[in-house]
């Protein structure tokens, strides 16, 4: 689907795009093919696509032979998608708010891949929701704004390192990424865009049962970035236990959360949240 096709279809349907929903459609075929290639799809794959819009990416996902579960909340586009792909037996189309649907439709995503041009307004919470699922996808290849991509790929002491970094990287490792020019979208967004691939870790850093404690620790530690992490955590954990855990991990009592690596956060979670034998 080229830009001219998009313009014509939108005009025929009398559709005005909604900026608040992040409706900036990627129309450049070269960039769409790069996304599919980054996802490494085969006919044996099951793919979750969020924010299908007019279906240019959906078309290529189906062409790979994969089974596709597409979620689109805008009823105008759902109707178009149903017409466009009426003869696509390997496509299941869900008309719903993707974030809400993911929260109540709990399922095993472990043999799925997420491949999507995510709506920029909800890209981060969708990634967190899937990353923290008990059985998360094997790979997530997504297009989102450059600012979010930097946070997803950040390391301790980076300016972009924070809560989003840790909640997603607990289960996923950032891999390749590439920029997509604004001219490849319609309408052109006001932000720079990046396609980034996240691979599920071969071995989890924490069992699912400790994820709630990890989230609690991370959010408290970053609640006031300029304050020492130890002092912030005292709001939720006994000072003696915190002091002992920091000493055991060789973490300075004066350190701020932005300087603490993911692995240290995971180890701290084990010390504070695992029951004592």
| One domain for residues 89 and 135 | yes
| One domain for residues 153 and 18 | yes
Cis amide bond preceding 187, omega within 30: yes
Angle between helical axes of 29-39 and 56-63 (0-180°, round to 10)? 50
* Domain around 176: 3-200
| One domain for residues 82 and 11 | yes
Give residue 17's pLDDT. 82
Domain-ending residue, one of 165, 180, 200: 200
Q: How far apart are the first and last CA of the chain?
A: 60
Q: Residue 223: which CATH number?
A: 1.10.8.100
Average pLDDT of the residues in 16-26:
78
| One domain for residues 35 and 118 | yes
Q: Residue 153: which CATH number?
A: 3.40.50.150
| One domain for residues 227 and 173 | no
Locate 114 and state its tokens.
């997420």
* DSSP type of residue 3: H
| One domain for residues 37 and 172 | yes
276 pLDDT above the threshold of 60: no
CA distance 153 to 99: 22
CA distance 193 to 181: 7
| One domain for residues 61 and 196 | yes
CB 23 within 8 A of CB 17: yes
- The tens digit of pLDDT for each residue in 152-179 reads 999 999 999 999 999 999 999 999 999 9
- The tens digit of pLDDT for each residue in 196-218 reads 999 999 999 999 999 999 999 99
| One domain for residues 167 and 262 | no
What global pTM score does this model have? 0.94
Kindly indicate the confidence band of residue 18, based on its pLDDT and cuts at 50, 70 and 90.
confident
CA distance 90 to 220: 44
Give residue 137's pLDDT. 98
| One domain for residues 176 and 239 | no
The count of structural domains within the chain is: 2
| One domain for residues 148 and 248 | no
Kindly indicate the confidence band of residue 149, based on its pLDDT and cuts at 50, 70 and 90.
very high
| One domain for residues 216 and 194 | no
CB 76 within 8 A of CB 96: no
| One domain for residues 174 and 55 | yes
């Amino acid at each position: 689907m080229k830009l001219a096709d998009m313009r014509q279809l939108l005009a025929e349907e009398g559709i005005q795009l909604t900026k608040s929903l992040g409706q900036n459609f990627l129309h450049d075929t070269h960039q769409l093919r790069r996304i599919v290639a980054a996802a490494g799809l085969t006919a044996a794959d099951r793919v979750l696509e969020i924010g299908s819009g007019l279906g240019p990416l959906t078309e290529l996902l189906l062409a790979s032979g994969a089974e596709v579960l597409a979620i689109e909340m805008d009823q105008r586009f759902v109707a178009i998608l149903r017409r466009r792909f009426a003869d696509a037996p390997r496509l299941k189309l869900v008309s719903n708010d993707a974030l809400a649907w993911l929260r109540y439709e709990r399922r095993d995503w472990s043999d799925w891949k997420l491949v999507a041009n995510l709506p920029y307004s909800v890209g981060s919470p969708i990634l967190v929701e899937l990353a923290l699922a008990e059985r998360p996808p094997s790979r997530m290849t997504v297009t989102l704004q450059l600012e979010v991509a930097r946070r997803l790929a950040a390391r301790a002491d980076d300016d972009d390192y924070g809560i989003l970094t840790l909640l997603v990287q607990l289960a996923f490792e950032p891999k390749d990424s590439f920029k997509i020019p604004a001219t490849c979208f319609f309408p052109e967004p006001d932000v720079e865009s990046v396609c980034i691939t996240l691979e599920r870790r071969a071995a989890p850093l924490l069992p699912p049962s400790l994820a709630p404690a990890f989230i609690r620790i991370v959010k408290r530690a970053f609640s006031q970035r300029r304050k020492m992490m130890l002092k912030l955590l005292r709001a939720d954990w006994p000072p003696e236990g915190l002091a002992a855990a920091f000493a055991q991990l060789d973490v300075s009592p004066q350190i701020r959360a932005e300087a603490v690596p993911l692995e240290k956060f995971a180890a701290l979670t084990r010390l504070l949240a695992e029951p004592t034998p």
